Amino acid sequence: MIGQTNILVIYTGGTIGMVQDPKTLSLQPLTFDILYKYLPVLENFNCRIDFYTFEPLLDSSNMSPSFWIHLASVIEENYEDYDGFVVLHGTDTMAYTASALSFMLENLNKPVIFTGSQLPIGMVRTDGRENFINSIEIAAAKDVDTPVVPEVAICFENKLYRGNRTSKLNAENFGAFISGNYPILAEIGVHIKYYDNLILKPNFKKLRVLKELDENIAILKLFPGISQSSVDAILTTRGLKAMILETFGSGNAPTAPWFLEQLKEANSRGIILFNVTQCKGGSVDMGRYETSASLSKIGIVGGYDITTESAVTKLMYLLGCGFSAESVKQLLQTSLRGEMTV
C-alpha cells in the first residue's frame, strides 16, 4: 500500500502481554496471533504491524545491560524496514531501559515508544489497550514524511514522556510514571497534542548503535545514620569505576570528617563520583549550601536534574565508550540526549 507506515512491536515481557487462561485462571503470555481478538481496532490503522517476541520473555526485574544490548540490536537490524518501534516492557525497570536505549541509539531519527500496563491486556479494566493503541499511533505519526517523535519515549496513561526523564512513581495507579524535571512531550485526549518545541529534532544522520556498556558502577543512597563501614564497603568494591551518590535535596550530604575523607580518597583513586538528588523533582546545585560545597571541593561531579535511572545508564554508556575519567566527568555535565537541564 502506497504511503503505508510500518511499525515493529517488540514484546520483551511484562504485565501488558499477559492473558488469563479460562481453565486454570493463571496468567500466560499473549501470543500475537490472537492480539486482534483483544484489540480489533488495530485493523483500522493504516499501517502494517509486525511483531518480534523475545525468547524467553523477561520480567522487567530481570532486565540487565546484556538485554539492553539485545534490544538495541533488534532495532538496529530492523531499522531500515520500519518507520517506528513500540516496545512492550514491564513497568518496574522501564525507565532504566528507555534511558539506556536513548544513549545507545545515537542519531536516532525514528520513534522508539515504550509502553506497558498495570493490568494484563486480557482483563476487562486493563490500561494496556489504551497504552498500546496510543503507542502505535504515536510511533506511526508523521509530519510531511518526518516522524513526529524521533526519540525514545514512554507512553503511559494518556501522556508521552521523554524516556530518559522518567521514573516509576506508583505501583498501583494507572499513572505509574513521573517526569519531575521535564514537561510531557504529548498529551492524549480526543486528539493527540504534541508539544513540538519539547521534542528532539531529527538530524538525519545514519543510526549508530553503541553496544559497549560498563557495569562497574554503584549507587550509594544517603540516609541519616549511614555508617562508615557501609560507605567503605561500596567504595572498596572490586573493579569499581564510578559511584552515584544519591544525596539529599539540592545535592547535600553529611559533613562528618570520616565521610568526606572516604569520598576524597575514592576520588584520588580515580573513582568518578556523581552527585544525583534523591528527589523526584528539582536539581543538584553544588555549593548552594555548605553541605554540598564540601563535595564540590573534593571533585565530585554535580548531576543537575538527571534521574537516577538516567545517571546509571549514562555512566555505563560513557565508561563503555572508553573515555578517560576526565572526559567522562565533562560529559556527565553535558546533555547528550536531552536527559538533563544544564
- Rounded CA-CA distance 161/155 in Å is 6
Amino acid at 282: G
Distance CA 87, CA 13 (A): 10
Helix 308-320 and helix 94-104: axis angle, to 10°? Answer: 40
| 3-state class (DSSP) for residue 32 | helix
3-state secondary structure string, 85-113? EEEECCCCCHHHHHHHHHHHEECCCCCEE
Dihedral of the CA atoms 113, 91, 106, 141 (nearest 10)?
Answer: 10
Check if 334 is active-site.
Answer: no
Distance CA 259, CA 232 (A): 9
Neighbours of 311 (CB within 10 A): 25
Question: Which one from 12, 15, 97, 307 is the annotated catalytic residue?
Answer: 15
The two beta strands, 192-194 and 186-188, are antiparallel
Residue in the structure block whose three cell numbers are 549514562 = 314
**d(C-alpha 5, C-alpha 205), whole Å:** 21
- Report how far residue 16's alpha carbon sits from residue 3's, in angstroms, rounded to the nearest whole number: 30
245-265 CB burial, b ≥16 within 10 A, e <16: bbbbbbbbbbeeeebbebbbe
Of all helices (H) and strands (E), which one includes residue 156?
strand 152-156
Q: How far is CA 95 from CA 137, 161, 263, 327, in A?
A: 21, 10, 28, 25
DSSP E strand boundaries for 1-67: 5-11, 18-20, 27-29, 47-53
Please identify every residue annotated as catalytic.
15
